[in-house]
Structure 1
């Protein structure tokens, strides 16, 4: 597993945070599959990523709530998970009807297949999210939810625009959920950001302030309907644990990461 480098290695970082939270008695996510995979991989997580902070577990739990609510409104609909890595959302919230498409670069899918088997309702597509041919695996007329956890910040802004507008143009009944980082964090990553002495965070070219985000998205496509911005709820470590408070302060919220849920202008809401 140690042959992973660059962006694909971040799947182990997110697994570290999610599984460590899942096994806590007071954990705010239940994820037995993540815990199983975590224990199965011979990798020094603490050496690379330090103490778990709950960030990725919080993000996954927030995505679970929104996607799970959409599944109740669209039984048998399709979820596309871009940059799936070792995320186990399908295993956490599967209702026995949803159809799921896990999309990631070939080396990431190869790792995923060691621990999670594809099935008729949960298929794997070994392609970059930027390779728009993954869309051919989805019926355009059906309800669709597209997620991208910890992905868009690794793309250039122009690449994010191309991807989002292509999704909105092809799928009339679509909702999307993704996360963004602030500009200062993007700049630090481009200069060389060390998470620990032994792990450098991959470069994250796209950062944006909270106040800029909705106007930018709307300038990209007239098909954007609602835009909901959500701050991260919980962190285990200081000062990140102050994020829920910081989100209420105009001057500070611009420097925070946010989770975004948007709908197409004509997406069916019921």
Structure 2
């Protein structure tokens, strides 16, 4: 399967999380990232050279893991929708045994993800553009929903970002967006 352009960033972020997790003083431990990276035949040397990207990914992961963990503690039966999820493994780090989790991403990215990170009872991958409102019908929740939109907005126009927020606003009566 060929990944192009922005899709390749999902591999670099996964690799960065796996590499950080193997450091002595890691701030988070991502066993799933380590497992998946060991299965993927890809030249990750570009990620090793990009220290700015590495620290951005690590910092963002630390901050969002903390925010999402706090949300889950306050809303233990919540539903989490990870938009443009790529190869994100946050569910594996933060699952409380109750939450429902949806990963929404473009078809090629979703297929690639499912090749290495299988869905589970409470985890489902949906192959849609975030700007296509069809994905909403597959979410089994209308309130107490947390949306994670990590690493997407910078690739979209202001109009596209607004479209995603409108889809969420029109379909979910009580939600939080990180």
Give me the TM-score of the superposition, normalised by structure 2.
0.92
Distance across 2 between alignment mates of 1:58 and 1:48: 15
Distance across 1 between alignment mates of 2:17 and 2:142: 34
Alignment match, 1:117: 118
1:140 Cα deviation (Å)?
5.2
Aligned-CA RMSD value: 1.6
Distance across 1 between alignment mates of 2:48 and 2:132: 30
Deviations 1:7-49 (A, max 9, x none): 1111112112211111111111110110111122111111466
Contact 1:84/1:102, CA 8 A, preserved across alignment:
yes
Q: Residues 37 and 143 (structure 1 numbering): CA distance in 2 closer, same or farther, change over 3 Å? A: same
**Larger helix proportion of the pair:** 2
SS, match of residue 61 in structure 2: helix
Deviations 1:98-151 (A, max 9, x none): 000010011111111111111220011011111111111224532100001111
1:60 Cα deviation (Å)?
1.7
Q: Which has the larger radius of gyration?
A: 1
Unmatched 5+ stretches in structure 1: 178-270
Alignment match, 2:55: 54
1:163 aligns with 2:164: yes
Distance across 1 between alignment mates of 2:46 and 2:79: 38
Q: Residues 26 and 48 (structure 1 numbering): CA distance in 2 closer, same or farther, change over 3 Å? A: closer
Unmatched 5+ stretches in structure 2: none
SS, match of residue 143 in structure 2: coil
1:175 aligns with 2:176: yes
Contact 1:21/1:54, CA 8 A, preserved across alignment:
no
Alignment match, 1:66: 67
Distance across 2 between alignment mates of 1:93 and 1:175: 17
Deviations 1:210-245 (A, max 9, x none): xxxxxxxxxxxxxxxxxxxxxxxxxxxxxxxxxxxx
* Mapping of residues 8-87 of structure 1, within 5 Å: 8-47=7-46, 50-52=49-51, 53-87=54-88
Aligned residues: 176
* Mapping of residues 128-167 of structure 1, within 5 Å: 128-139=129-140, 141-167=142-168
Distance across 2 between alignment mates of 1:61 and 1:47: 22
SS, match of residue 173 in structure 2: coil
Moved more, 108-117 or 133-142: 133-142
Distance across 2 between alignment mates of 1:66 and 1:54: 18
Alignment match, 1:100: 101
Distance across 2 between alignment mates of 1:18 and 1:165: 31
